[in-house]
Amino acid sequence: GGGGHVEDYSFSFEGPFGKYDTNQLQRGLQIYTEVCAACHGLKQVPIRTLADEGGPSLPEDQVRAYAAQTFEVFDPELEDFRPAKPTDHFPANTAAGAPDLSLMAKSRAGFHGPYGTGINQLFKGIGGPEYIASILAGYEEAPDCAPEDFNGYYNTVFAPGGYPDECKIYDEHGVEIGRKAPGSWIAMAPPLAGEDVEFADGHSNELHHEAQDVAAFLMWAAEPKMMARKQAGLVGVIFLTILSVLLYLTNKRLWAPVK
Ligand code: HEM
């Protein structure tokens, strides 16, 4: 409990025919690079996958330039740092306490209900990218009940962070029965305020757009083969449907003389 409302943003990759939006992934990559990479790593993601079809689909030469100009990696053979190559992975995180984001979009759920059953996930999806976008847009001024020097930044969506006793509601036995404000205090300062980046495609850089773009990029990072998986699933359903029809007809025919 204690988590705030996760906005059910709609993403292009939802549903059985959903696809990543190449332009959105490129914008998300830009936000990750210019803002998030200052603290967070993506150590499980090979840089070369930025060229993959169905992903950000950058041209190969652009990927090479991006790797070399953006990141330095330690090369054990050279015993020194060198510009990154497409075959390297994104670097690991640099700031203490900032978790790696490679799998973040799959390790967090946005939807839990009703009553914790998770049934909403059947219709809305697990909600990882919605959760990330909501956190980024979920910072607010701390409620009046909180002491001014309380550690961290008040976020209406983040649940597991610190929470001041002054904002808890207790019954007469001193048992906590509620909270005056949703969310909790997170160690990450608000990374996005809106207008943090300029997009080459002129797309809006309002806070909630930036938040969705970087969340979509992190979904791709966590599940780059989502489209192939959905396609395989669809082929499976079609195949099983045809097989069922054939079995039905075979069955009728086999038993026809007996009836
Ligand atoms: C935590 C995303 C920028 C420092 C997180 C979490 C996410 C996230 C999804 C995990 C929340 C959870 O555990 O449920 C992002 C994105 C960024 C960004 C998308 C860029 C738009 C930054 C920057 C810094 C930073 C620039 C450092 C100045 C941290 C820290 C935590 C964290 C320290 C741990 C917070 C805690 O557990 O209290 N971030 N982040 N992040 N981030 Fe960021």
Ranges of beta strands (E only) in the chain are 72-75, 80-83, 153-155, 168-170, 176-179, 184-186
Distances from the Cα of 83 to the Cα of 64, 69, 74, 204, angstroms:
10, 7, 9, 32
Q: Spell out the residues 6+ positions from residue 208 whose beta carbon is closer than 8 angstroms to its own.
A: 133, 137
DSSP assigned state of 78:
T
- Which residue owns the Cα nearest ligand 1 atom 28? 39
Question: Which of the listed residues 188, 206, 210, 213 should we mutate to test ligand 1's pocket, taking the one with most ligand atoms within 8 A of CB?
Answer: 188
Please measure the distance between the N-terminal and C-terminal CA atoms of the chain and give it in whole angstroms: 61
pTM of the model: 0.92
Quote the distance between the C-alpha of residue 200 and its chain's center.
Answer: 23
Which residue numbers in the chain have pLDDT < 50? Answer: 1
DSSP assigned state of 146:
S
> Residue 1's pLDDT is what?
46
Alpha-carbon distance 206 to 209, whole Å? 5
> Residue 119's pLDDT is what?
79
> Residue 223's pLDDT is what?
95
Q: Spell out the residues 6+ positions from residue 185 whose beta carbon is closer than 8 angstroms to its own.
A: 142, 146, 150, 151, 152, 153, 154, 155, 158, 161, 162, 163, 164
d(CA 98, ligand 1 centre) in Å: 6
Instruction: Tell me the two tokens of residue 233.
Output: 């699933």
b/e map 223-235, b = 16+ CB within 10 Å: bbebbeebeeeee
CA angle centred on 106, ends 103 and 110, rounded to 5°: 135
d(CA 191, ligand 1 centre) in Å: 8
Which atom of ligand 1 sits closest to the CA of residue 192?
21
Question: Which of the listed residues 39, 94, 150, 210 should we mutate to test ligand 1's pocket, taking the one with most ligand atoms within 8 A of CB?
Answer: 39
**In the chain, how long is the greatest CA-to-CA distance?**
86
Looking at the DSSP bridge assignments, the partners of residue 80 are 75
> Residue 2's pLDDT is what?
61
Pocket residues: Cβ below 6 A from ligand 1: 31, 35-36, 38-40, 95, 97-99, 104, 108, 132, 135-136, 161, 186-189, 191-192, 214
